Amino acid sequence: MEIERKWMVKGWPEQGALLPLLYTEHQEQGYLHTDAPIVRIRMEARSGGDTKYVLCFKSAGLLAREEIEIETSEEDYCRLAALTGHSLIKKVRRVYGLPDGLHLEVNLVDEGLPTEFMYAEVEFSSEEEAHGWTPEAFGLGAYLSDDVTQLPGQSMSAYWARTRGCES
């Protein structure tokens, strides 16, 4: 089960002792199906680390939804990417440590394109934890002020459909 909140943001957060940068990842992702079950492929290349290729299935939902990720080979990833028939979404993800042990994932999407935007996510272990978590407790109230978790059309699969013209 994936339980996460999402915010639209402008820029990277200010770093400091309370918000250390844990790692940066360069990603490419595309969708084979954008309605539930959503079918996504993704390449995740961690700076100074490994590269993973992941096939993912997601159920419908906003705050919480079922997510099944299956690691695959580079060859299968490339074959699946070709099946999309579109250029993949490019993302830069920076993951920051929060004082409560959670992670703030900030994403720059399609940098340099007219559709470029940034968003942030925090994943939780329960819906209760997600509802009770406040950005203000970590000095992030202004940065994480545009909560879009419960707004339909804010998912990456919806962005794919809008920008790649591939409703499924």
Domain containing 102 equals 2-164
Indicate the pTM of the whole model. Answer: 0.94
Alpha-carbon 26 to chain mean position: 12
Q: What digits encode the pLDDT tens for the residues 105-143?
A: 999 999 999 999 999 999 999 999 999 999 999 999 999
pLDDT at 168: 47
Alpha-carbon 145 to chain mean position: 18
Local confidence pLDDT in tens for the 168 residues of the chain: 999 999 999 999 987 667 999 999 999 999 999 999 999 999 999 999 999 999 999 999 999 999 999 999 999 999 999 999 999 999 999 999 999 999 999 999 999 999 999 999 999 999 999 999 999 999 999 999 999 999 999 999 999 999 997 654
pLDDT at 84: 96
**Structural domains in the chain (count):** 1
Contact 105, 24 (CB under 8 A): no
CATH number at residue 150: 2.40.320.10
**Which residues lie below 8 Å from residue 8, measured CB to CB, with a gap of 6+?**
117, 118, 119, 146, 148, 154
